[in-house]
Amino acid sequence: MAKLVRDRVPQLLLDQGKDPHIRFAGDDEYWKMLKDKLSEEVDEFKGAGTPDKQKDELADLLEAVDAVMKFKCWKKMDIEAVKSSKAFERGKFEKRIILE
Protein backbone atom coordinates (compact mmCIF):
# COMPACT_ATOMS: atom_id res chain seq x y z
CA MET A 1 0.00 0.00 0.00
CA ALA A 2 1.49 3.31 -1.09
CA LYS A 3 1.47 5.99 1.59
CA LEU A 4 2.82 9.52 1.81
CA VAL A 5 5.31 9.72 4.67
CA ARG A 6 7.41 12.42 6.26
CA ASP A 7 10.74 13.13 4.56
CA ARG A 8 12.94 11.50 7.19
CA VAL A 9 10.94 8.26 7.56
CA PRO A 10 12.97 6.25 5.01
CA GLN A 11 16.22 7.07 6.82
CA LEU A 12 14.68 6.27 10.20
CA LEU A 13 13.59 2.88 8.83
CA LEU A 14 17.08 2.25 7.45
CA ASP A 15 18.51 3.10 10.87
CA GLN A 16 16.23 0.40 12.32
CA GLY A 17 17.65 -2.17 9.90
CA LYS A 18 14.63 -2.14 7.61
CA ASP A 19 14.75 -1.83 3.83
CA PRO A 20 12.09 0.68 2.76
CA HIS A 21 11.01 0.68 -0.87
CA ILE A 22 10.34 4.27 -1.87
CA ARG A 23 9.59 6.31 -4.95
CA PHE A 24 8.79 9.96 -5.54
CA ALA A 25 5.32 11.16 -6.54
CA GLY A 26 4.57 13.42 -9.45
CA ASP A 27 2.27 16.39 -9.00
CA ASP A 28 -1.04 14.60 -9.61
CA GLU A 29 -0.22 11.68 -7.33
CA TYR A 30 1.23 13.98 -4.67
CA TRP A 31 -1.96 16.08 -4.64
CA LYS A 32 -4.08 12.95 -4.25
CA MET A 33 -1.79 11.62 -1.51
CA LEU A 34 -1.88 14.95 0.34
CA LYS A 35 -5.68 14.86 0.41
CA ASP A 36 -5.56 11.25 1.60
CA LYS A 37 -3.06 12.27 4.29
CA LEU A 38 -5.40 15.02 5.50
CA SER A 39 -8.22 12.49 5.85
CA GLU A 40 -5.92 10.04 7.62
CA GLU A 41 -4.74 12.67 10.09
CA VAL A 42 -8.32 13.83 10.79
CA ASP A 43 -9.32 10.23 11.52
CA GLU A 44 -6.33 9.75 13.81
CA PHE A 45 -7.15 13.00 15.63
CA LYS A 46 -10.75 11.90 16.09
CA GLY A 47 -9.58 8.57 17.52
CA ALA A 48 -6.99 10.03 19.89
CA GLY A 49 -8.03 9.42 23.47
CA THR A 50 -5.68 11.38 25.67
CA PRO A 51 -4.95 15.11 25.53
CA ASP A 52 -1.28 14.39 24.73
CA LYS A 53 -2.23 12.09 21.84
CA GLN A 54 -4.77 14.67 20.62
CA LYS A 55 -2.04 17.34 20.54
CA ASP A 56 0.29 14.95 18.74
CA GLU A 57 -2.33 14.16 16.09
CA LEU A 58 -3.28 17.83 15.71
CA ALA A 59 0.40 18.61 15.04
CA ASP A 60 0.40 15.94 12.31
CA LEU A 61 -2.76 17.44 10.83
CA LEU A 62 -1.20 20.91 10.79
CA GLU A 63 1.90 19.48 9.09
CA ALA A 64 -0.33 18.06 6.36
CA VAL A 65 -2.13 21.41 6.01
CA ASP A 66 1.23 23.17 5.70
CA ALA A 67 2.25 20.72 2.96
CA VAL A 68 -0.98 21.46 1.06
CA MET A 69 -0.41 25.21 1.31
CA LYS A 70 3.19 24.89 0.13
CA PHE A 71 2.25 22.61 -2.79
CA LYS A 72 -0.53 24.96 -3.90
CA CYS A 73 1.64 28.06 -3.29
CA TRP A 74 -1.01 29.41 -0.93
CA LYS A 75 0.22 31.94 1.58
CA LYS A 76 -0.84 31.55 5.19
CA MET A 77 -1.94 35.19 5.28
CA ASP A 78 -4.27 34.55 2.31
CA ILE A 79 -5.84 31.56 4.07
CA GLU A 80 -6.12 33.62 7.26
CA ALA A 81 -7.88 36.38 5.28
CA VAL A 82 -10.47 33.88 4.01
CA LYS A 83 -10.85 32.52 7.54
CA SER A 84 -11.32 36.03 8.93
CA SER A 85 -13.89 36.89 6.26
CA LYS A 86 -15.89 33.73 7.00
CA ALA A 87 -15.70 34.46 10.74
CA PHE A 88 -17.04 37.97 10.13
CA GLU A 89 -19.88 36.75 7.88
CA ARG A 90 -20.83 33.54 9.70
CA GLY A 91 -19.10 33.67 13.05
CA LYS A 92 -16.73 31.20 14.64
CA PHE A 93 -17.33 28.05 16.68
CA GLU A 94 -16.80 29.66 20.09
CA LYS A 95 -20.40 29.73 21.38
CA ARG A 96 -20.84 25.95 21.03
CA ILE A 97 -24.11 26.33 19.11
CA ILE A 98 -25.67 23.06 17.97
CA LEU A 99 -28.27 23.26 15.18
CA GLU A 100 -30.91 20.54 15.34
Residue 71 has pLDDT above 90, yes or no: yes
Q: What is this structure's pTM?
A: 0.89
What is the distance between the alpha carbons of residues 61 and 58, in angstroms, rounded to a whole number? Answer: 5
- Residue 16 is predicted with a pLDDT of 98
Contact 45, 57 (CB under 8 A): yes
Nearest to 35 by CA among 62, 63, 68: 68
pLDDT band at 1 (very low <50, low <70, confident <90, very high): confident
The per-residue pLDDT for range 13-43, each reduced to its tens digit, is: 999 999 999 999 999 999 999 999 999 999 9
CA atoms within 13 A on the CB side of 54: 4
